[in-house]
Amino acid sequence: MDDEWDGGWQAMREEAEELCKRIKLRFWGLPYNALNGINYDDTADILWSIHQVLRHQLWLDDPRPDKPRYTVDASPAMQYGSEPLATIKSKED
C-alpha cells in the first residue's frame, strides 16, 4: 500500500464505496441501496464489473491475516458489461 495513503486500508475502502455511491446517484439517479439488476443498461453493467474488480482488489490488499474469506469481496469479479474486466496495476516502487 502507498506510504502516502492517509487512513490505511479501511479508509481507502470506505472512500471507494462512497465514490461508487456518488456515481450511481449522479448518473442513474439511484440511491445507494437501489438495485435494478444486471442487463438493464450496458454502461451500468460495465461499471458494476469495474466495481467488482475494485472490491476484490481491496480485499486482496487487506493486510489482516484473519480477513474474512467467505464474503462477496473475496470472490473474483465476473464480467457483466460488454467490456472486458478492468486490470489493476500496482504503483511501481
Q: pLDDT digit string (tens) for 42-90? A: 888 888 899 899 999 999 999 999 999 999 999 999 998 899 999 988 7
Would 92 be classed as within a structural domain? no
d(CA 84, CA 8): 30
Domain residue limits at 19: 8-74
Contact predicate 49/12, CB 8 Å? no
Give me the pLDDT at residue 90, please: 77
Would 83 be classed as within a structural domain? no
SS (H, E, C) 36-93: CCCCCCHHHHHHHHHHHHHHHHHHHHCCCCCCCCCCHHHCCCCCCCCCCCCCCCCCCC
Single-letter residue type at 37? G
Would 1 be classed as within a structural domain? no
| Domains in the chain, number | 1
Would 43 be classed as within a structural domain? yes
Indicate yes or no: pTM above 0.75. Answer: no
Give me the pLDDT at residue 4, please: 60
Give me the pLDDT at residue 55, please: 92
Would 79 be classed as within a structural domain? no
